[in-house]
Amino acid sequence: MGLNNGMAMNNGLEKIETQKLKEEICHDDSAVPVKAQTLEELHSLQVKKSGPNTPMTGIQQTVFGSEADKNKQQLESISASLASLTRETGPKLVKGDPAKQPETPRVVHASHQHQHQHTPQFSNITDSALKFTHILYNLSPAELYEQAIQNEKGSFITSSGALATLSGAKTGRSPRDKRVVKDETTSEELWWGKGSPNIEMDEKTFLINRERAVDYLCSLEKVYVNDQFLNWDPMNKLKVRIVSARAYHSLFMHNMCIRPTPEELENFGTPDFTIYNAGKFPCNRYTHYMTSSTSIDINLARKEMVILGTQYAGEMKKGLFSLMHYLMPKRQILSLHSGCNMGKDGDVALFFGLSGTGKTTLSTDHNRYLIGDDEHCWSDHGVSNIEGGCYAKCIDLSREKEPDIWNAIKFGTVLENVVFEEHIREVDYTDKSVTENTRAAYPIEYIPNAKIPCVGPHPKNVILLACDAFGVLPPVSKLNLAQTMYHFISGYTALVAGTEDGIKEPTATFSACFGAAFIMFHPTKYAAMLAEKMQKQGATGWLVNTGWSGGSYGSGSRIKLAHTRKIIDAIHSGELLNANYTKTEVFGLEIPNELKGVPSEILDPVNTWPNKDAYKETLLKLGGLFRKNFEVFTNHKIGTDSNLTDEILAAGPNF
């Protein structure tokens, strides 16, 4: 071929030499080759070594000791949390993913017994004593994504960047399987019996379930631990520890609780409350008090919660809410199942309402700051959000109707039980194939107008929302304190239920304090605290009907959202306080005669019904339903007499 002028051949091929280019024509910008000698060594250079704790120097070092000492104390605390009734200490613990561990991990045992532990002594060594339990502590969302995708079937990254996952067979809470330990203290303090959400169990049964959960968690190769906070009020913040078997649960609680700073983790210490989530493992159905393979158990004396037989993450969120419903009122702080927002002038409004009443829609206002969407405390110095995130329903979600929630579903968000397109991973929020209860859990800072920290001054307005499908409640009513207590305890809305022959009619639904499943004391206690705080701070109560007008469902029509928004705006601005009012019959509600932007004829529902006799009949029917529902609350006294109960009863329907 004549290349290289006939240079010597090597293995039958001519040697090829490339022409050396002049430096000014082509600059060689190649970097110095890596020093790594193997692929493993190269990969080790990719990730910087770090941890959840910040480095310390000087005085800090003297107070807290070395980094190794802090790490040891942290693991000892976790080991103590995982101590079993049949072991003197917790399991052998080592921090980090077992796939990345050195051959001889450093082992840490608990140096002290659990506060309430009475440990029997066993001399036999079992196989479990020879294994390590790897603790994945306060992992970041990115790390938890990796863990979920690698280890949990049904975990995928969607097109928006959110993590889609499955909660297993349970796609909602199991209130009938929730148990509370009844002991000398709680037997006197808590609300038990008819109407109460508190189903009793004894401490021995709780310890059996705790042992089952802890043994299951300790049998795993790795366990996820979150140390986080509840309540943005710094004076009443609680430290909670969540021990779980799934990365999905760890990411969910990372989003829903308040996330500590690295400095706060340095001083976290012993938690105030611990959750053992062994939901992948069932309870023993032959154990006393068990009615299924699911059991959610709370022991207020031990400050512990045990979950068996359900992987639905909402059980953890609402279990902690039940805890706050117990602890906060004992500090004279009112715990509330409500939304909360604040105007630019500092006026705070609370929104109560059951599903379908518009609580999320109406409390989300681009002209106001969001303090929180679901759980709050009202103390002597204002309101505070209990949580650090939002848990939004996703069924039929659209960018047009709920742009804030839509935009919050991005990297870091957990999507539960949604259906998505196989190739492009785009979620179909209308698809109910897995469940209608599809959910998104995301940090509250994902909402653009969230107020961080999530605290505010005392509420100016308390808004009770009801979707009245009977069509007899006014679009808005001003309530006195007794009426506020009555309707707060009632927690009314109406659902539209289908019958076999296709006829649909309203069905009244009542949930005490707008969250009956989570309260611990009698509803009257929470209502009395609400009225006391409202009176002290000069807050006004309102009942807003977002349901039907001009007839019941099927004959009337739904009150326009635009009109309801005008009503809410008038409450915020104070315009409604200056209106002239007329009292209705039966319920005795004060309704405004006129309101700018709202047709005057709809303000009194009797005007919109073509058949006045049918209106009166339906009004009396609803009043009877209220009375019947309230019967379960009349036997409870606040104080030494029944005066308060009588006052609340008198504020109900009168006919």
Catalytic residue set:
173, 318, 337, 355, 359-360, 374, 439
Q: Are strands 348-352 and 339-342 parallel, antiparallel or unpaired?
A: antiparallel
- Give the residue from 165, 147, 149 showing the smallest Cα distance to 439: 165
- How large is the C-alpha radius of gyration of the chain? 30
- Give the residue from 256, 231, 394, 393 showing the smallest Cα distance to 313: 256
Q: What is the DSSP string of 5-29?
A: GTPPEETTEE---PPPPPTTTS---
**Cβ–Cβ < 8 Å for 91, 214:** no
User: What are the residues whose beta carbons fall under 8 Å from the beta carbon of 168, sequence distance 6 or more?
Assistant: 279, 280, 310, 311, 312
- What is the side-by-side order of every strand in the sheet holding 476-479? 369-372, 339-342, 348-352, 459-466, 540-545, 476-479, 590-592, 581-583
- Give the residue from 344, 339, 338 showing the smallest Cα distance to 573: 344
**Cβ–Cβ < 8 Å for 566, 475:** no
Q: Structure tokens of 441?
A: 């859990």
User: What are the residues whose beta carbons fall under 8 Å from the beta carbon of 42, sequence distance 6 or more?
Assistant: 34, 36
**Cβ–Cβ < 8 Å for 416, 165:** yes
Q: Structure tokens of 466?
A: 């009801």
Provide the 3-class DSSP secondary structure of residue 588: coil
**For 459, which DSSP code?**
E
